[in-house]
Amino acid sequence: MMEIKKASAPPDRCNIVAAIVFMLGLGTLLPWNFFITASQYFNQRLNQTTETTVKDYNYDNWMTLLSQLPLLLFTLLNSFFYQWVRESVRVACSLVFILLLFSLTATLVKVDMCPDTFFSVTMATIWFINMCSAVLQGSLFGMVGLLPARYSTLFMSGQGLAGIFAAIAMLLSKLGNADPKSAALGYFITPCVATLGTLACYMLLPHLKFARFHLRRHANEDEKLNELPPSADKYMVSTQHEKKLDAERILIGEMEERSSVLVVLKKIWVMAACITCIFAITLSVFPVVMLRVQTVYKNTNWDKVFTSVCCFVVFNVMDLVGRGAPSLAQWPPKHSRLFPCVVALRVVFIPLLMTCNIPNTKLTILFRHDAAFATIVALFAFSNGYLASLCMGYAPQMVAYRDCETAGSLMTFFLVLGLALGASLSFLLVKLL
């Protein structure tokens, strides 16, 4: 009897697939980061009114909330209905619509509009662009879950780079000599180019042997089975080639049907709860509360870039470092009871950040100096990136290979649930300031 061996994976030559996965992670969070980093631009345009009293549009709170609600809704839909629409269609269409919406935002920089109309158009754009991002993120997390575990870490690191990318783009636009409108136009053209690059990377992925080996075991082989006539037994095929494929699927567990969503959720519920908690804590204060912290060095050049540097650059750099750290060390282990405790301890960052140098606050200021604020932000961001990356990497390891895509999609939903809860909580925290 001939012994059938499991096919070995081809190498990821020059780490091209790793670079593409990193770039895809970058593309998923570009919309969110470019809108939060441009907070000052949007607030300035909304406050340009001839009325004696300036209307408070509360852009930061509404932007955060209207970003997370469509993410939550469409991530949920994607988790349950992702099998109805091909992944390539979901990803490509999402990236094209994101590109079009970014182009609209860039165009509106040069268009004069009354604040009410501009606010409505901006909020609608934020809603639809995050709707597309939800489908994109859920689809790509599911795809990355089929690759070796280190690619989940790379994907999360790419998401962390998106924040740095947006923060540096905003910083350069402020430091340049261009007028505010030209600077804002250049700022919003940047994600258009980056989104095109993300789309090109995704289209290249199926042409790489390493990616085909891991991704097409689900897609192509299942399609071949589905092409059999209804009367045929899908697990009893006649040709020698199909028998070999059949035996390989037995060896890697792909012959069995995928588990239901609830069955997968029972296996990963601890990681799902942790990822929800991590991002609920983060979004409750970032960026809404952190944007209210001001430097002690008023009326200086540092004052102009303080928010961009301390709130966005420091946060996103340390978040990226945290997302990459699990490739060096992973603690606590995935089955450790200590893991949820470490996640819950991050709640201490909420009062720490709320007691930084915020003018006219109702709370006692405990950390007035810029260095104290930057240090708290750095620790806050590192813990966010590190623990989130661990959660997203651990979850697919807790289920059978055939359920990795479902686990990835579910984790994405709970990640976005945490974002939505945090965005809602931010309204209450602002009232306490």
Q: Is residue 146 part of a domain?
A: yes
Residue 128 domain-assigned (yes or no):
yes
5, part of any domain: no
Note whether residue 244 is domain-resident.
no
Determine, yes or no, domain membership for 246: no
Total tally of structural domains belonging to the chain = 1
d(CA 205, CA 212): 8
Question: What six digits make up the tokens of 251?
Answer: 């060896």
| Domain with 28 in it | 13-216+258-432
Note whether residue 238 is domain-resident: no
pLDDT in tens, the chain (433 residues): 344 344 576 777 788 888 898 989 888 888 888 888 888 888 888 876 545 556 778 888 888 888 888 878 887 776 666 667 787 888 899 999 999 999 999 999 888 889 899 999 999 999 999 889 888 887 887 788 778 878 877 887 788 788 888 888 888 877 776 677 777 888 888 889 989 999 999 988 888 888 777 777 555 544 544 444 444 333 333 344 444 444 444 444 444 567 888 899 999 999 999 999 999 999 999 989 999 999 999 888 888 889 889 999 999 899 889 988 988 889 999 889 999 999 999 999 999 999 999 999 999 999 999 999 999 999 999 999 999 989 988 998 899 878 887 888 788 788 878 988 998 999 899 999 8
Output the pLDDT for position 305: 86
Please indicate, yes or no, if residue 242 is contained in any of the structural domains.
Answer: no
Q: What is the predicted pLDDT for the residue at 378? A: 97
The CATH number of the domain holding residue 69 is 1.20.1250.20
Contact 305, 175 (CB under 8 A): yes
Residue 227 is assigned to a structural domain of this protein:
no
